[in-house]
Amino acid sequence: MALVPSSSVDPPIIPEVEMNGSDLGASTVRATVVQASTVFYDTPATLDKAERLLAEAASYGSQLVVFPEAFIGGYPRGSTFGVTLGNRSVKGKEEFRKYHASAIDVPGPEVDRLASLAGKYKVFLVMGAIERAGYTLYCTVLFFDPQGQFLGKHRKLMPTGLERIIWGFGDGSTIPVYDTPVGKIGSLICWENRMPLLRTALYAKGVEIYCAPTADARETWQASMTHIALEGGCFVLSANQFCRRKDYPSPPDYIFSGLGEEPSPETVVCKGGSVIISPSGTVLAGPNYEGEALISADLDLGEIVRAKFDFDVVGHYSRPDVLSLTVRDHPQDPVLFTSASKTESSEKQLVMNPF
């Protein structure tokens, strides 16, 4: 493993690279997980930072770059949004207004910029973002290809704890796996990775490069990531932010709760732990708990087949005669207008039978 220290002037992110060889074969993919903090409440500055990180990852030959959960829009760590049971404070509502303003529309201009960046640096890009759909926010992962195309999204199916007061719930229509030249790419976010049936849905779609953006920096997270790599016979790429208190707005505009006293500006409030794990459960790079970093490894896709020979969870090691899973993968729209469909049907009939 090679660590390149940052310089004193305009320092690059510390790259942490563990490579399996100097030459990449057709079945080898160089992947990078980004461990870095959002510029909170400043989405344009966060997008600028994302470009710097992408440029640096591309300079190391990365073909796939994965960013943390909620990198665009921010993970509001320590905030309560003024919520107590039966009440929401005026200050908390204003805090949500600012958070809503930092989120992005999908599609929208920020998505267009991310697509252009993926095309500019010729990488597959997996980006954590807070998606704004009207007045509801979703914790979302966005997928882009090296041709600068937006492929689609995954909305977090199950927000955790207090996240449920600020984020909506995804449905089965956004659990994609994309078949790409570098492998079949899919993603689940943070603790939904602990949902066995949801993981099984990805396995059934053939995921080979399993991206797990997260906000969980605890050491127990590493056990979950290793288990998923072994269970799914896939590469697991987990990206988390590394944040200090100073990366968030200062008090009294932003109050950190749950830590006792207000932490000092240099206090680490999320220590990262980003990691890349092979289908055999071998840690290829990371976990890093030291600071912002680019964590990279070469993925030998042949390892997937070797791992599946031992255990194929939805293949030769499944028992559909005993256990099965049904996934409702159509959109769960809260309102359906039947008159619209009737109008469309009538218009078609008029075109077919004008007299």
CA 239 to the chain's CA centroid: 8
Give the chain's length: 355
Residue that has been written with the tokens 């997980």 in this structure: 33
Q: In this predicted structure, what is the pLDDT of residue 20?
A: 42
Q: Tell me: the pLDDT tens digits for 227-265?
A: 999 999 999 999 999 999 999 999 888 988 877 788 999
- Residue numbers annotated as active site: 69
Q: Where are the beta strands (DSSP E) in 62-171?
A: 64-66, 83-84, 87-88, 124-133, 136-144, 150-155
Rounded alpha-carbon distances, angstroms, from residue 229 to 105, 316, 320 = 32, 17, 22
Residue holding tokens 């929401």?
Answer: 88
On the question of pLDDT at 348 being above 80, the answer is no
Q: 25: alpha, beta or left, given left = phi > 0 and alpha = psi -120 to 50?
A: beta
From CA 278, how far away is CA 276, in angstroms rounded?
Answer: 7
Which DSSP letter does residue 52 get?
H
Stretch 266-292: mean pLDDT: 97
Q: What integer pLDDT is reported at residue 305 of this predicted model? A: 96
HSE-CB at 55 with a 13 A cutoff on CA atoms is: 7
DSSP codes of every residue in 249-277: PPTTTS---SSSSPPPTT-EEEE--EEEE
pLDDT reading at 2 higher than 70: no
Q: How far is CA 172 from the centre of its chain?
A: 17
**Rounded distance between C-alpha atoms, residue 46 and residue 71, angstroms:** 8
Residue from 97, 102, 46 nearest 71 by CA: 46
| Interval 285-335: pLDDT, tens | 999 999 999 999 999 999 999 999 999 999 999 999 999 999 999 999 999
Q: Give pTM, 2 decimals.
A: 0.89
